[in-house]
Structure 1
Amino acid sequence: MRKALIVWGGWEGHQPKQVAELFCMTLEQEGFEVEVSDTLDAFADREKLLGLDLIIPNWTMGEIAKPLADNVSAAVQAGVGLAGCHGGMCDAFRTNVDWQFMTGGNWVAHPGNNGVSYRVHIVPGSSSIVDGIDDFDVVSEQYYMHVDPAVEVLATTRFPVAPGPHSLNKPIDMPVVWTKRWGVGRVFYNSLGHQANIIEMPVVTELMRRGFLWAAEGKRLVAEQSANGGAVGAAGAYTGMGDSQV
């Protein structure tokens, strides 16, 4: 049975407990054995993390000890999937740039705050994760992010919508959904999900479900490739997070 770990906490305004419960329900419906924790100490056992298929951080504006972040990085580099949404993953630990490097981006602003009406544009043909999903509208925070240029962009939103000091810049398409690799692990992120009601939108629920499955599938593919004699090592693996090279 595939195993997943959801770790929630941090700023209560993002309803981390409620969102974690929704994610748990989605994964259990897909046959995962799910552990849900409200402490970052859940990242303390590196060997346990290496035995998972998927890690879902759902923790906003916190601080993480370097050894704990190193453990997550080591697990993902070895093939464990990493997936999450909104501030729970890419505004989790603002002072940890290594975490931001691993996840693919970090939050910097949401002009207009909550309640902005905007469109999410699917990038056609970008991934099976978005196959058959049409552009859709959402009323929520519109995340402006600093994004790793290495990510594969699956959906975008156009800025500016809400007024602000950014408004006189040229219009830009900001990534909303993306994937990337960290070592041989798969990383999935969706900037939607300010509160549980956004996660409950059918299209967002489906995006998260597909993203979870895609990220977790990487562990099996790595194992199969290794069993067949393929090269699965993370050549040139990033070692900025301590002794996490695998």
Structure 2
Amino acid sequence: MSQKALIVWGGWDGHEPEQIAGIFKNILEEENFEVEVSHSLDTYADGEKLKTFDLIVPHWTMGKIENEYVRNISQAVMSGVGLAGCHGGMCDSFRNDVDWQFMTGGNWVAHPGNDGVEYMVNIKHSSSPLLSGMEDFKVVSEQYYLHVDPAVEVLATTRFPVVEGPHSTNKAVDMPVVWTKRWGEGRVFYNSLGHHADIVARHEVTEIMRRGFLWCAEGKKLADHPSSDTLKFYSGMGDSQ
């Protein structure tokens, strides 16, 4: 049985959400996913349907979302459904919704120099093998400065400052670009690259997203069919309480 993915795109047109949704659809179909694409936040109204997917891919910049819809997504991810996205389509989606920000692991706050900044993306050696074998690479785009959940596992970073500004009087910082986190039984993946479709279409970014999609979707399978070790862990949790 093929895995199922849901892509929901919209919001600010400057991020070329329809084009990027098309790139994501192609990546997933090449990996034999059955893909549903929607241009409406009302797609999130059916919480039980959301739980039938292996992966949810939001690409919606700014705007507002119903509290019920965020709860539905959160519950689906907690049940094991993966959540993966990029740039403002996931971590600048709903600026007034802290529940969304808590789940996704971060929130955009600035991009000094705006579009056209040349900077390096540094692949980080961490406990996750997700980006193993990939090399550091340069990109010319927006360089995202984010407020980031300390619980995330950082897989790639970029050095600030590149462009001078009020932040430059602080020490240099390595800002997360790619990260993973857990939300209940589900896996969450984020990549801050992707201001325009041409950036997402770069082979490095496409490969990062492909790996993230597959990793997140795999979590659904593990949640539905936990190993004997996992079952022992959860069954023993009550013994120490």
Instruction: State the TM-score bracket (shorter-chain normalisation).
Output: over 0.9
1:141 aligns with 2:138: no
Tell me, which stretches of 5 or more residues in structure 1 are unaligned? 234-246
Give SS of 2:94's match.
coil
Runs of 4+ in 1 over 4 A off after TM superposition: 226-229
Q: How does 1:110-149 map to 2 (within 5 A)?
A: 110-149=111-150
Q: Does 1:92 align with 2:93?
A: yes
Q: Deviations over 1:133-168 (max 9, x none)?
A: 011000000000000000000000000001111111
Contact 2:193 2:199 in 1 (8 A): yes
Provide the secondary structure at the position in 2 that maps to 1:189.
Answer: strand
Cross-structure match for 1:243: none
Distance 2:143 2:199 in 1: 12
C-alpha contact 1:53 1:219 (8 A) present in aligned 2? yes
Percent identity reads 66
Q: Distance in 2 between matches of 1:158 and 1:229?
A: 38
**Closer/same/farther in 2, CA of residues 231 and 31 from structure 1, 3 Å limit:** farther
State the match for 1:182 in structure 2: 183
User: Would the alpha carbon gap of residues 232 and 42 (structure 1) be closer, same or farther in structure 2, given more than 3 Å must change?
Assistant: farther
Whole-angstrom distance in 1 between the partners of 2:206 and 2:160: 24
TM-aligned CA distance change 1:229 to 1:169, over 3 Å: closer
User: SS at 1:130's partner residue?
Assistant: coil
CA shift in 2, pair 1:145/1:86, >3 Å: same
Structure 2: distance between partners of 1:68 and 1:81: 16
Cα distance in 2 for residues equivalent to 1:77 and 1:125: 24
| Map of 1:102 onto structure 2 | 103
Give the secondary structure class of the aligned counterpart of 1:129. coil
CA distance in 2, matches of 1:47, 1:98: 20
Partner of residue 162, structure 1: 163
The 5 A counterparts of 1:212-231 are: 212-225=213-226, 230=231
Separation (CA, whole Å) in 2 of partners of 1:160 and 1:226: 45
Partners of 1:19 and 1:196 within 8 A in 2: yes
- Alpha-carbon contact 1:126-1:153 (below 8 Å) kept: no
Q: Structure 1 residues 229, 105: closer, same or farther in 2, change over 3 A? A: closer
Aligned residue number for residue 78 of structure 1: 79
Give me the whole-angstrom Cα distance separating, in 2, the residues matched to 1:55 and 1:83: 7
Give structure 2 stretches of 5+ with no counterpart: 235-241
Contact 2:160 2:174 in 1 (8 A): yes
Change (3 A) 1:131 1:228: closer
Per the alignment, residue 55 of structure 2 pairs with 54
Count, aligned residues: 233
- Is residue 26 of structure 1 aligned with residue 27 of structure 2? yes
- 3-state SS of 2:118 partner: strand
For residues 15 and 226 of structure 1, the distance between their equivalents in structure 2, rounded to whole angstroms, comes to 41
Q: Which residue of 1 aligns with 2:237?
A: none
User: C-alpha distance in 1, partners of 2:230/2:91?
Assistant: 35
More helix, by proportion: 2
Offset, 1:228: 8.2
Measure, in 1, the Cα distance between the counterparts of 2:119 and 2:230. Answer: 48
What amino acid is the match of 1:75? Answer: A
- The answer as to whether partners of 1:226 and 1:232 remain within 8 angstroms in 2 is no
1:128 is displaced (CA, Å) by: 2.1
1:242 is matched with: none
| Residues 184, 232 of structure 1: 8 Å contact kept | no
The separation in 1 between residues aligned to 2:197 and 2:19, in whole angstroms, is: 6
Are 1:193 and 2:223 matched, yes or no? no
TM-score by length of structure 2 reads 0.94
Contact 1:156/1:175 (<8 A) preserved:
yes
